[in-house]
Amino acid sequence: MISRLSIGADAAATATALEALWAEGSLVGLASPPDWSALAAALPPRLGTPSPWGPGVVIASGGSSGRRGWCVQPLAGLERAAAAAALWLQAQGLDPASATVFNPLPLQHVSGLMPLVRGRRWGAELRWLEPALMREPEALAGRAPLPDSGAALLSLVPTQLQRLLGDPAGIAWLRGFAVVWIGGAALAPALAAAARRAGVPLSPCYGSTETGAMVTALAPGRFLAGEGGCGHPLAHAQVRLDPASGALQVKATSLSPGAFDAGAFQPLEAPEGWWSSGDGGRLSPAGLELLGRLDGALSSGGETVFPEEVEGRLRALAAAADLPLQAVLVLGQNDPLWGQRLVALVRAQSGADASALVAALERVAAVLPPAQRPRSWLLCPELAPNGLGKWERGRWGRWLREAPRNASSDGLTQ
């Protein structure tokens, strides 16, 4: 059978309950209360005991492409990923066993689950942080003091990093870590530059629920020296590009066996052990550079355009021009001339003149190649990624289709 564990406010208590279920050999479905019904609908009414995969979890995957699945991750695979992360730390001159792992991410997501598995595997101390504490930089030093000895390790998503970098107290706290893994969404060039200026030892990484979190990571020293991308594969993983589609493919000992959907188990499609992630990328001697989701790529003017790449360039241009841009999301609309034209949803910083921001963005975007220039701009005051910093493009695509009724109040320029 599959045990079900609802994620409560006390992460440490939930983790204790999870470990007890693992000790019994249980496969545990993890979900927060809002997602409980979706998890229940995905799971089969019964499953053999013990499960075919031994102890492990069933957790949500997806969201960036608008489609959610419920992924099976055996504990054994997650522990192999944790062992590979330990080898990576040792290559940086750090001792995993003497480390302190700080975790402000939710347990029902793989990025919040892995700190538990790593601490358990390494024998390291694990400290749970309330996610709300990441919004209170001045309180961090007192409520989440760093250890006097051993490496302090932290995992963040970009939205959390951005908040902390906006406050001197947050910067001071971050600089005390040996490694700050950053994943979950693309790292904007302007945010990376701010972290380098502040001397924060970031390690941009790539992974997914299906891979048991990170399978590549960039060493903090290389990041601070100005290198971009997500680094090279960890010891348990290999990456390559599909020559036909350009999709980033992963082979790893932590690869999920599959997912549950409407009560049925769907094995992961991984011919010869290679799973196609759906992400486009480039591989070079410097490592992996992500371009964006292939299923979200647009064809504009006969050219393939990755919205994430355009968004990154717009954020960088806005930062260089000191524009009050809070968020931007690029989507596609069918167009008889362009095939698809780019539409930029824009949210201004609080108190800023949103219409003036759009006009300024149009001016600075003129330096982009024609296929990458948004052809229309729509103000969207509620625009924001989800709690893990991922853009739910399906949701905002639906919002865009309703844009004509919003245009009079939110401001559409074409």
What pairs with residue 251 in β-bridges?
238
pTM of the prediction?
0.77
pLDDT of residue 409: 32
Question: Residues 266, 309: one domain?
Answer: no
- Which is nearest to 94 in space by CA: 7, 180, 160, 195? 180
Cα–Cα distance for residue pair 168/203, rounded to 1 Å: 21
Domain count within the chain:
2
Question: Residues 272, 401: one domain?
Answer: no
Question: Residues 289, 301: one domain?
Answer: no
Question: Residues 248, 277: one domain?
Answer: yes
Q: What is the mean pLDDT of residues 343-372?
A: 93
**pLDDT band with cut points at 50, 70 and 90 for residue 403:** low
Is 291's pLDDT higher than 60? yes
Residue 357 identity: L
Domain span holding position 30 = 2-293
Question: Residues 143, 15: one domain?
Answer: yes
pLDDT of residue 411: 41
Of 30-34, 57-61, 321-325, 372-376, the range with the lowest mean pLDDT is 30-34
Pairing of strands 264-267, 237-241: unpaired
pLDDT of residue 63: 42
Is 86's pLDDT higher than 90? yes
Question: Residues 209, 224: one domain?
Answer: yes
The CATH number for 334's domain is 3.30.300.30
Residue 220 identity: P
Question: Residues 117, 260: one domain?
Answer: yes
pLDDT of residue 340: 82
The set of residues, in sequence order, having a beta carbon less than 8 Å from that of 345 and lying 6+ positions away, is 328, 329, 330, 331, 378, 379, 380, 383, 396, 399, 400
Question: Residues 159, 265: one domain?
Answer: yes
- Which is nearest to 2 in space by CA: 60, 45, 62, 64? 45
Domain boundary among the residues 262, 293, 324 is at 293
